[in-house]
Structure 1
Amino acid sequence: MAHDDGYEEDAYDEDGSEERETVGTFDADAFLSGLDKIFAAHEGATKAGPYLEQAAVDAENAGDDAGLLTVLNETIGYYRSQGRHAENQWVIQRALELAARMGLEGSDAWTGTLINAATGMRAAGRHNQAEDLYRMALRSAERTLSPIDRRLAALHNNLSMLYSETDRAHQAEIELREALRILESASVNAGEDIDVASTNTNLALVLLAEDKLEEAERHAATALGIYRAGHLEHEAHYASALAGYAQVRFAAGEYGCAAAWYRRALAVIEECYGTDADSYATTADNLRRAEEEARRAGQPVGDDAADDAAAHDAGTSGDDARAAAMSGGAATSAAPSVTPSTAPSDAPANAPEQSSASDAARQLTGLQLARAFWNEVGRPMVEAKYPEYRGRIAAGLVGHGSECYGFDDARSRDHDFGPRFCLWLTDEDYARIGERLQADYEALPGVRSGSFMGVPAAAATPRAQGAGRRDGVFAIGDFFESITGYRMAPAEDHPYEWMMLDEATLAAATNGEVFADPLGAFSKARQGFKLMPEDVRLALVSRRLGMMAQAGQYNVPRMLERGDGAAAWLAVDEFVRAAASLVFLLNQPVSVGYLPYYKWSFAALRRLSGRLATRLADVCDQLESLMRLASAACYGGAGFGEGGRGAAPAAAQVTGAIERICGEVVAELRREGLTPSGDSFLEWQRPYVEEHIVSQEPCLHSL
């Protein structure tokens, strides 16, 4: 445990036990420092329990609720580690009740307590209670933690463990992917980040459970590449990455190779923990099993079996994804996989050739291609030609284009698609090296001519050139100004400027991925546009409620009754747009981003609705059904050869669908404490929502 080392020297004896001369007060910092001393002396098994119990008594006697909550949270973790699950139940309950009584709901302390409680319940095998607590923690974290806070990643990681333990591998995969996304966004250098490596290993093992061998191999290899790139081979967690990769090779039927990797894992465990550790015994058993299977399959089990291990040691590079990852070339999970499928050991001699790098590249998304292009071509150029600026240049792909949203497919490659990335500099750095760096960027093979991984340079459309270019070198302020009109996000006390920025514009300014940002300046500017002021968000929520009421609840049925199908169709469209926007706004843009422009609105809404803990997750399906019904309701299905049949029943279904969606919106507003009213007509909900707007700026309030 690591805590601030701020204890008072005279409050503790040499063994960490507290002197009881300061009755009536409780020093939480001193308590934590004393606990650290106990664990540092490896005396936790005997001294931590009594110490925690006495500290709880002292905090309670002193009337220090905050101090008592600190003690209870530490006790939950300690009892969990000691397997004292029955005793931990009342500690967990007491901590939750105390935090609620203190009014901490909605605070960082409440989030932390929920996470501790959920993890304690999971360790005790109380999975249902643990899942409920984790979900509460996620909802709380969305309000209390930054979207790139590593604690949020740890929360998703913990939830993935629960899903794995309850045989829900796909849900575990979703949680781990989210944890990985957060860590990669938060990391200064994801290619050397041990947390990113560990999460890649965990994800590989979950993917194995889903029989997704090729993808599992990519993530396992990525983890090893990160350890190598960061020179972290002597870290204790490196053993887990080695064993994880061995498990992947075992699953692929490469038993001799798996044995070689298990041996490497054993060596690291022995170095870090000794041979008495449980992990050493487990890994040794896995090694014996791999060796037995290798002999049974007629595979070598000695050094000759370790072709991948040799590639790792030599740091070789090439199209083989395993070799690239081992040499540090695959820095993150988004790096491309060009690993050919593993052929059976008895494959015929005239088997087809394995897939080429260009074949695999055709399966890459634009973001994956961009990240690979940066890692393999861009980063080496920057390091070679601009060594003094390598710690100041940000790289990534953000802005206009379907690939920046992650929605690109084969059809997206007919324009503006190719190897590319953005480089972002401060104004000062851009003035010094911007033009020269741009020239060096354009000279990279694949940017203006040639190709990368078999993908040719983009044939840029006129709108993506000059001032509208979508890649290359930018001053940070210029980049955001080209998208939003602002060099940096408007100030919180300038709500009228925020209200002039439509959501599609904000989506373009905050989408994509940042591959590297050692200075942090670009990420800070980008985050500024994600941090929509709460008053502005609530004002927009109110506006969307008004449009849903006016267009959907009021005008759709009136226009249908008049027989004006065209007007009804447009009213349905306005309702759908407002509802989709509302879903994003209620899920907090800082956490989920903004609704993009119309072309990708439903793609984004489907993706958001597929995430765990999304508010109004089923509204997306209802909106799509509503749009299908609107055809028959507005035009009687005439466009489909049905004449005027079916209009009346469809009209009833349309109005019913609208009311159901509005009812769900009201229920969500009540859950969030934005209204006490159950009135289903959304216009009447607006005053309640606007009561929560602090600013008196007229632009934030309805007339």
Structure 2
Amino acid sequence: MDALMAANNPMALFGNSQPAASAAEDTDDTGDADDTGNHASRFDADAFLTGLDAIYTAHRAGQDADAYLQQAMTDAENAGDDAGLLTVLNETMGFYRSQGRHEENQWIVQRALELGLRMGLTGSEAWTTTLINAATAMRAAHHYDQAADLYRQALDSAAATYGPHDRRLAALHNNLSMLYSETGHPDKAHDELTQAMAILNDSGADPHTDPDIASTDVNLALVELDLWHEARNREAAGGDAGQAQTSAGLLDQAHEHAQHALSVYRHGNLTHSAHYASALAGAAQVQFTRGAFADAVMLYRKALDVIAECYGTDTDYYRTTSDNLQAAEDAMAQQAKQSGTSSDITDTATTTAFSDASAVGDDLSPDITGLALAKRMWLEYGKPMIAERYPHYQGRIAAGLVGHGSECYGFDDNLSHDHDFGPGFCLWLTDEDYAQIGERLQADYDALPTRFLGFGPRQSTPRTQGDGRRVGVFRIGDFFESLTGYRQAPAADRPHEWLMLDEATLAAATNGQVFADPLGAFSKTRQGFKLMPDDVRLSLISRRLGMISQAGQYNLPRMLRRGDSSAAWMSVSMFADAVSSLVFLINTPASAGYAPYYKWRFAALRRLSARMGTRLAGVCGKVEQVLRLAGVACYGESGQAHDAATAMDALIDAICADIVAELKREGLTDSDERFLEWQRPYVEAHIADDAACLHSL
């Protein structure tokens, strides 16, 4: 479980990346954005807010709120009431965020900001409110750079408009914490939440019944889980007992905060509040991490009941929590199976043919992973060397390990040590800095010890030497060009160039870890390759649907009937390749990364599928069952082959049904057709660009 699980916690006041009950809840802590003294007589902002509150109180937001907000915009515009219109726009931002309507929300955000500037609101509480709501909307849409800029502006505005103990400032710190959490900085997120909690405690609120304190408790629990994962990774990389104690303490803290949040809602008689769902889901995540899967299932089910009551079932929030419930139920079933309290039905043909192949061989777990080895060497040798010899460049040099090699994916084991393994890391410089110190820095890097922690010297194959080297000093542009052919990601309006970059190439350019990047230039370039234009993603999804249907639904059974076992085997391979790629694309590269090359495809798919909140998480196991059955179906004796082919056909049908259900949840289709070729026009209808390369014939 990881930071993606923040999608469980839709606090409007303290905005995780989830839906808000309403934008009014955002502005309850930040102040309504109509505080300008310019109220037109024909638009009553107070009556508008009262009517909107009534819709939410009646749990009719899903049915009535959109039409109500649209009408209010029209009424405010017709009345010439800019202040009233800004109030409506702020409410609409929150509502669209809660519904996952992020593309539509971009226009609302832009309109609200332009309106506020035109009204001359800078330096007012109304402007602070608008900045916070706009930033939170952009964060929910994963436009993190824009969100960070808006939050910074909001902090500057709040310094002039809020007092140091203003509860609205706590809301801002909570929102900013979510940005840090979602962009991989849980330590900074924790600092923001600590500041928020201090403000709330100083405000004189009752800590046993204050829902804002409960919301902050939930956020703290989620961030502490992220910190726990980081601590566990450090332990795996060779940490000491003190680190293990730290990780255990973090998990205990997360549990304590989650339980306190639930207690606040119960004591405050707030269990029908929309925010109660976020507390339940956060507590469920903690219990899942602790291995208490039955408790997690119970909490997720309660959360779904509250979400359905407050938001309805056709929302990203409900769908994400449903996926998390399924993962918890699967884990509970697996736990029961391992303890011997239950068993799964296994296809006899598969068991008979592959019982020998399931035997576990030697333990190949590495004493230290390549990433951990690289980071340790950077910290002990690389970082001090730069501080001593290049003090003026300490704030400009990025370090890490990214690129080709199993260690960059975190999949290396003891078998990986026979080639291209050993102490080493990457240093990335801008063109200007490389011109000044690049060659000298490479010479100093080459002078570092070749043996470290019992490993080395690094054994490099011929293809990983010279221009193909995997470690050392690089120009940022040269590094990415060596991997992708591009010094930076293609522009969004050049889809044909994106389509020329296969997923394995993009995976190599965006994997690994960045240990330090004070300038941010390397991370910005790397992030550009993660941000595949959505039209390109949809085009690839359509292509994968076509291959799944052709290889798995159409040609596989035909080849088996013809007795062409080798062609059938190839069909299974193409089917598995397309399905595994589709799972990464559905979960979006910015969040899930890209499917790596074939060797590590299923290792990456298993890892993605094990994360809480992953869409189509159950497909991985089904595809692996198809692969196990394929050997018998294609090459087994007639009786077993027939049974295996029948079981394989049923699994493929189930996989395709899962895919159709997910396409419907994503709003990409309204068709129930399971032959996936016929789903392609529905998906491609969502591609805005009319470039021929994005559309099927």
The TM-score, its normalising length taken from structure 1, stands at 0.55
In 2, distance between residues paired with 1:521 and 1:567?
A: 48
Structure 2 equivalent of residue 602 of structure 1: 602
Contact 2:660 2:672 in 1 (8 A): yes
2:446 is aligned with 1:442: yes
Task: Please give the per-residue CA displacement for 1:268-310, whole angstroms capped at 9, x wherever unaligned.
Answer: xxxxxxxxxxxxxxxxxxxxxxxxxxxxxxxxxxxxxxxxxxx
Contact 2:232 2:247 in 1 (8 A): no
Structure 1 equivalent of residue 631 of structure 2: 631
Task: Please give the per-residue CA displacement for 1:348-367, whole angstroms capped at 9, x wherever unaligned.
Answer: xxxxxxxxxxxxx9622111
Partner SS, residue 428 of structure 2: strand
Structure 1 equivalent of residue 482 of structure 2: 482
Task: Please give the per-residue CA displacement for 1:306-329, whole angstroms capped at 9, x wherever unaligned.
Answer: xxxxxxxxxxxxxxxxxxxxxxxx
Task: Give the letter aligned to residue 676 of structure 1.
Answer: D
Distance 1:462 1:20, change over 3 A: closer
Distance 1:402 1:142, change over 3 A: farther
Task: Give the letter aligned to residue 648 of structure 1.
Answer: H
Task: Please give the per-residue CA displacement for 1:52-105, whole angstroms capped at 9, x wherever unaligned.
Answer: xxxxxxx9x9784753685899xxxxxxxxxxxxxxxxxxxxx76x97699778
* Equivalent in 405, 412, 418 of residue 408 of structure 1: 412
Alignment map for 1:216-295 (pairs within 5 Å): none
Structure 2 equivalent of residue 316 of structure 1: none
In 2, distance between residues paired with 1:555 and 1:23?
A: 67
In 2, distance between residues paired with 1:543 and 1:201?
A: 37
Shift of 1:183: 5.1
Structure 1 equivalent of residue 387 of structure 2: 383
Partner SS, residue 486 of structure 1: coil
Structure 2 equivalent of residue 393 of structure 1: 397
Structure 2 equivalent of residue 345 of structure 1: none
In 2, distance between residues paired with 1:441 and 1:150?
A: 35
Structure 2 equivalent of residue 681 of structure 1: 675
In 2, distance between residues paired with 1:435 and 1:489?
A: 26
Task: Give the letter aligned to residue 462 of structure 1.
Answer: P
Task: Give the letter aligned to residue 477 of structure 2.
Answer: G
Structure 2 equivalent of residue 365 of structure 1: 369
Task: Please give the per-residue CA displacement for 1:646-669, whole angstroms capped at 9, x wherever unaligned.
Answer: 111111111111111111111111
Contact 2:377 2:452 in 1 (8 A): yes
* Equivalent in 42, 64, 67 of residue 87 of structure 2: 67
Structure 1: runs of 5 or more not aligned: 4-15, 29-58, 74-94, 112-137, 152-177, 224-243, 252-360, 637-642
Structure 2 equivalent of residue 536 of structure 1: 536
Alignment map for 1:389-538 (pairs within 5 Å): 389-445=393-449, 449=450, 451-538=451-538
In 2, distance between residues paired with 1:221 and 1:27?
A: 61
Shift of 1:418: 1.3
Partner SS, residue 646 of structure 1: helix
In 1, distance between residues paired with 2:248 and 2:179?
A: 22
Structure 1 equivalent of residue 574 of structure 2: 574
Structure 2 equivalent of residue 656 of structure 1: 650
Task: Give the letter aligned to residue 67 of structure 1.
Answer: T
Shift of 1:24: 3.7
* Equivalent in 659, 668, 671 of residue 665 of structure 1: 659
Greater RCO structure (CA 8 Å; 6+ sep): 2
Structure 1 equivalent of residue 565 of structure 2: 565
Shift of 1:421: 0.7
In 1, distance between residues paired with 2:594 and 2:40?
A: 51
Contact 2:139 2:147 in 1 (8 A): no
Distance 1:213 1:379, change over 3 A: closer
Contact 2:419 2:459 in 1 (8 A): yes
Partner SS, residue 379 of structure 2: helix
Alignment map for 1:99-138 (pairs within 5 Å): 107=105
Partner SS, residue 424 of structure 1: strand
Task: Please give the per-residue CA displacement for 1:186-212, whole angstroms capped at 9, x wherever unaligned.
Answer: 59xx8999579998997489969x999
Partner SS, residue 617 of structure 1: coil
In 2, distance between residues paired with 1:222 and 1:603?
A: 27
In 2, distance between residues paired with 1:603 and 1:485?
A: 26
In 1, distance between residues paired with 2:404 and 2:436?
A: 27
Contact 1:204 1:219 in 2 (8 A): no
Shift of 1:550: 0.8
In 2, distance between residues paired with 1:681 and 1:205?
A: 40
Distance 1:506 1:104, change over 3 A: closer
Distance 1:104 1:416, change over 3 A: closer
In 2, distance between residues paired with 1:203 and 1:569?
A: 46
In 1, distance between residues paired with 2:376 and 2:146?
A: 22
Q: What root-mean-square deviation, in Å, do the aligned CA atoms of Structure 1 and Structure 2 show?
A: 4.9
Shift of 1:422: 0.3
2:695 is aligned with 1:698: no
Structure 1 equivalent of residue 619 of structure 2: 619
Shift of 1:150: 8.2
Structure 2 equivalent of residue 88 of structure 1: none
Distance 1:106 1:653, change over 3 A: farther
Task: Please give the per-residue CA displacement for 1:468-492, whole angstroms capped at 9, x wherever unaligned.
Answer: 1100000011101111111111111
In 1, distance between residues paired with 2:232 and 2:447?
A: 42
In 1, distance between residues paired with 2:639 and 2:654?
A: 25
In 2, distance between residues paired with 1:373 and 1:197?
A: 33
2:650 is aligned with 1:646: no
Contact 1:183 1:195 in 2 (8 A): no
In 2, distance between residues paired with 1:216 and 1:364?
A: 5
Shift of 1:146: 3.7
In 1, distance between residues paired with 2:495 and 2:557?
A: 35
Shift of 1:246: 12
In 1, distance between residues paired with 2:190 and 2:44?
A: 35
Structure 2: runs of 5 or more not aligned: 1-12, 16-31, 46-75, 110-135, 150-177, 196-219, 253-364
In 1, distance between residues paired with 2:422 and 2:233?
A: 28
In 2, distance between residues paired with 1:192 and 1:659?
A: 43
Distance 1:653 1:473, change over 3 A: same
Structure 1 equivalent of residue 592 of structure 2: 592
Task: Please give the per-residue CA displacement for 1:143-186, whole angstroms capped at 9, x wherever unaligned.
Answer: 444499889xxxxxxxxxxxxxxxxxxxxxxxxxx9998554x5
Shift of 1:644: 3.7
In 1, distance between residues paired with 2:586 and 2:511?
A: 19
In 2, distance between residues paired with 1:245 and 1:70?
A: 42
Task: Give the letter aligned to residue 393 of structure 1.
Answer: I
Shift of 1:216: 13
Partner SS, residue 523 of structure 2: helix
Partner SS, residue 515 of structure 2: strand
Structure 2 equivalent of residue 319 of structure 1: none
Shift of 1:588: 0.5
Partner SS, residue 400 of structure 2: strand
Partner SS, residue 539 of structure 2: helix
Task: Please give the per-residue CA displacement for 1:561-606, whole angstroms capped at 9, x wherever unaligned.
Answer: 1111111110011011001101111110111110000000000000
In 2, distance between residues paired with 1:657 and 1:388?
A: 60
Task: Please give the per-residue CA displacement for 1:648-691, whole angstroms capped at 9, x wherever unaligned.
Answer: 11111111111111111111111111112111111111111111
Partner SS, residue 473 of structure 1: strand
Contact 1:216 1:248 in 2 (8 A): no
In 2, distance between residues paired with 1:701 and 1:515?
A: 40
Contact 2:237 2:372 in 1 (8 A): no
Alignment map for 1:48-67 (pairs within 5 Å): 64=84, 67=87
Larger radius of gyration: 1
Shift of 1:455: 2.2
Shift of 1:554: 0.6
Partner SS, residue 639 of structure 2: coil
